[in-house]
Amino acid sequence: MNLELFKKDENKEISLTSLEIAELTGKEHKHVIRDIETYLEKVVEGGVSKFGHTHQNPQNKQFYKCYRLPKREVLILVSGYSVELRAKIIDRLEYLENEIRKQSYKPLSLKESLKMQLDLLEKNEKLQEENINLKNEAEQNAPLIHFANRIKESNDAILIRDYAKILHEKNHLEIGEKRLFKILREKGFLMNDNKPYQKYIEQGLFKVSQTTISTIKGDRLVSTTKITGKGQIAVLKSILKAG
């Protein structure tokens, strides 16, 4: 498999020297120098000296002053030139930009290419592992999701024995009424007398109804614990979490 991989090179910047500007516009170099120092000095923070450069005369081997200007300063400079001269400068800048785009991605070395492919494989394996974990979690929570969807719209509170029947019929949990009461006490939902703790009543997990029963010895107040839809979900979560 032949993969042609590239890395981006963002270190290049478009620029023109005052010599190139003179050549493109047909102006004398000394006049371009004068324009740069006259016009750009006003708009360049810190002055044009920051763009100072030198060039060597091939005939006498001497070095002379020139400037190398970034694209912005070039465009500011030639804004005062004729339309024809501006067009030549703009065409040159566009040509340089296109060349940089062509060269902005360099082929990776074999070592860099292999490392990139290994990184991609590692990321792919990690994503697959995460997807498997999500699938397993969904499967584990399927009874809870099914149960929650069935009762989420219900505000009715039911008896604990009825809830035990639901757990058996809908979620295939072999839990009878007595065992469910025991689990609720062990998990701290209910007190020893099978009444819910006040905080769970306030949280809307349980309700307590009271009825008066007449006996030979007189009337007796009987409390009945009921579990709400919210409580049913919370308890099932707790049971599933404990396995």
**pLDDT digits over 45-74, tens only?**
778 888 888 877 777 777 788 889 888 888
Q: pLDDT tens digits for 104-136?
A: 556 666 666 656 666 666 776 777 777 666 666
Q: Which tokens sit at 141?
A: 């929570």
Residue pair 210/216 in contact by the 8 Å Cβ criterion: no
Question: CA-to-CA distance for 30 and 177, rounded, in angstroms?
Answer: 102
Q: How many CB atoms lie within 10 A of CB 234?
A: 19
pLDDT for 1 beyond 50: no
What are residue 224's DSSP bridge partners?
209
Angstrom distances, CA of residue 90 to CA of 2, 13, 16, 217: 39, 15, 11, 108
- Do 225 and 196 form a contact (C-beta atoms < 8 A)? yes
